[in-house]
Structure 1
Amino acid sequence: MNRDWTKLKQSSHGIPTYDSLIPYILQVLKNGEEATNKVIKKRLFEFLQVPDKILNQKYPEYPNSEGILYNRVSFALSDLYKAGALERPRRAVYQITDLGKGLLDKYGDSLTKKDLEAQPEYIQYRKELEIRNQRNEGSLAVSDHDESTKIDIKKLINTMNNEVAIELLDKIRNSDPFFFEHMVVKLLEKMGYSGENGHAKVTSRSNDGGIDGVINQDPLGTSTVYIQAKRYKEDNTVGRSAIQSFYGALAGINADRGVFITTSNYSKGAQEFAKNQGIVLIDGIQLTDLMLKYRVGVEVADQYTTFQIDSDYFEIEDLI
């Protein structure tokens, strides 16, 4: 396998492009060990014998940031993760998957971004991102006096948050079912379902009777919301029968309010039945959108402030 960085495809600055780094990241992780972002970059640069003069090149507008090549490795890691060639056991920690090993064996250093984009997980990722972006289009409406750059910024932020939401949903799908039940109850609490003096709980695993969580909205329990949470893969659509079973569980305890939450989606029949019976359905995309909004399982990465002229300030009577 090539070990000379000068043979990689390079940008106009003479720095390897991020996609040219893809096979070499798999190469330095092929032993199967978990490695941090920092360790991966160190191994990669040593493997390709990248000199300091290249590593030290930075974007002029960001002189205190990591070098350009460091930044490009992060982009390559992201694409490998989207394709399922890498997994993230923990934050900023990566590990090669069986798919990643297979791609490395098949393509070697000729592995390209196009090969990654052809993988089922990458295709599903792009499909889900498109759905999320379409759902968010309505929130991008602006008045006539707003500049087009504001729309572009909002679209960029939405896309970045949607990428985080996709990763978040993947982590939830791979979590313990009992953890998932606790998580959705916590989310509904953060949303205010428990009221000022109410309380929420997850039901016993052994005898939940089709009810995974209960939220009493007042201290006496006169207003109660019942929850069912199903942690499914994206292709496991929740059908009408599952919602009917939940309705039966609600009827068995004379309940009139239920929330069904899944990490996948619902069939048309399930949606119609739920609507007629007053059951609220939350799918995987809605779930993670709510988690971002109410900051459950996520934290703020960056915040930016924009300004506009306060025209009232320049009125003479306000200064006297």
Structure 2
Amino acid sequence: MPTPTQTEMFMHTLRVMTDGDEHTRRELPETVRESLGLTDADASELTGSGIPAYQSRVGWAISYLNRARYIDRVGAGAYRINGTGIDALERNPDPRGFAGEMNSTIARIDPWRKSADNPSDAQPDQVSETMTDDAADDARQSPDEELSRILSEFEGSLSDELLGFVGDCSPKFFEKLVVDLLEKMGYGEGSVTRYTRDGGIDGIVSTDELGFNPIYTQAKHYADGNKVGRAEVQAFIGALNGARNGIFITTSEFTQDAIDCARGCKTSTISLVDGRMLASLMIKYDLGVATERIIKIKRVDRDYFDM
């Protein structure tokens, strides 16, 4: 059979997950392919960027099913169907009907929209439209605005996938990742180290050749839902022992007490980076991601015609 369309793949992906098991972004495309009985010839269909179409469509399905809250993220890059998803399948035996209800649910929930009340915790700004085969044109938006929306959706999905891979890596690798990121951002040359001070220091980035004003790092490789609290931040401040600059990066989130503790530190400047900000920075500075293709958008050069 040919590779299902994106509209069809939403339902196919969720049906595979009705076994109630935990499924990861890495294995689910192959599980769906096996369930559909796609042959090697079927699976050879590629997207415009050279990725197998079934892999791309399952990846997008995971992101949108999670946005609609039909599946829950239960670990690093791992998901499980919930009761809402099971009910949606029972109500909609037809893929188009299922996709339509999913789109409406996302339009109502819109979990990627930036929060005006708490922009620091927000994910990339989104509008409610979702990606289906026969999505209607939105007369409210210009082509420029539509392009911005699509790029934002791509980054939101990439951010989710990237956090899954970061969550799968070892704590030691995560410490190196943090130092690599700071180097990419232009702060200087870094190294992973192990100090035995209170709370520990995981890395040092020298901001100049003589080593003045180094940046000390702490990297906490925590699972979703396990937030970094005030005690961990206080321990990090103690480990700095009066050093001027410290960055605390985690794969999860910080409690409000932890944030208040960092802001109230009088001896050092403490920067806190949670998982969402980490993914955004990795994308911005090309760490752990690769450019798939470059599309040039051209416009009329008005200066040329200004005679």
Short-chain TM bin = 0.5 to 0.7
Structure 1 gaps, min length 5:
90-95, 139-146
In 1, distance between residues paired with 2:7 and 2:223? Answer: 37
Q: Which has the higher contact order (CA 8 A, sep 6+)?
A: 2
In 2, distance between residues paired with 1:111 and 1:86? Answer: 25
8 Å CA contact retained: 2:114, 2:125: no
Residue in structure 1 matched with residue 36 of structure 2 by the alignment: 44
1:99-121, Cα deviation, whole Å (9 max, x unpaired) = 57x99xx99x969779xx8xxxx
Label 1:73 to 1:234 Cα distance change in 2 as closer, same or farther (>3 A).
closer
8 Å CA contact retained: 2:205, 2:215: yes
Q: Aligned letter for 1:276?
A: G
In 2, distance between residues paired with 1:156 and 1:46? Answer: 29
Partner SS, residue 286 of structure 1: helix
Residue in structure 1 matched with residue 263 of structure 2 by the alignment: 275
In 2, distance between residues paired with 1:240 and 1:161? Answer: 31
Q: Does 1:256 align with 2:244?
A: yes
Aligned counterparts, 1:94-243, within 5 A: 127=111, 134-137=122-125, 148-194=142-188, 199-204=189-194, 207=196, 209=198, 210-243=200-233
1:112-155, Cα deviation, whole Å (9 max, x unpaired) = 779xx8xxxx9xx97467669955449xxxxxxxx732122112
Residue in structure 1 matched with residue 281 of structure 2 by the alignment: 290
- TM-score by length of structure 2 reads 0.64
In 2, distance between residues paired with 1:111 and 1:221? Answer: 64
Higher helix share goes to which structure? 1
In 2, distance between residues paired with 1:218 and 1:85? Answer: 41
Structure 2 gaps, min length 5:
93-97, 127-140
8 Å CA contact retained: 2:229, 2:255: yes
In 1, distance between residues paired with 2:28 and 2:224? Answer: 28
Deviates more, 1:185-194 or 1:241-250: 241-250
- TM-score by length of structure 1 reads 0.62
Q: Aligned letter for 1:183?
A: L
Deviates more, 1:240-249 or 1:35-44: 35-44
8 Å CA contact retained: 1:169, 1:288: yes
CA RMSD of aligned residues (A): 4.7
Structure 1 runs (4+) deviating above 3 angstroms are: 22-28, 34-43, 64-67, 69-89, 109-114, 125-138, 206-209
Partner SS, residue 181 of structure 1: helix
8 Å CA contact retained: 1:129, 1:162: no
Q: Aligned letter for 2:264?
A: N
Partner SS, residue 264 of structure 2: helix
Q: 1:87 deviation in Å?
A: 9.8
Instruction: Mark the structure with the bigger radius of gyration.
Output: 1
8 Å CA contact retained: 2:219, 2:248: yes
8 Å CA contact retained: 2:218, 2:236: yes
Q: Aligned letter for 1:275?
A: R
In 1, distance between residues paired with 2:74 and 2:231? Answer: 36
Label 1:240 to 1:38 Cα distance change in 2 as closer, same or farther (>3 A).
closer
Q: Does 1:308 align with 2:299?
A: yes
Residue in structure 1 matched with residue 137 of structure 2 by the alignment: none
Partner SS, residue 178 of structure 1: helix
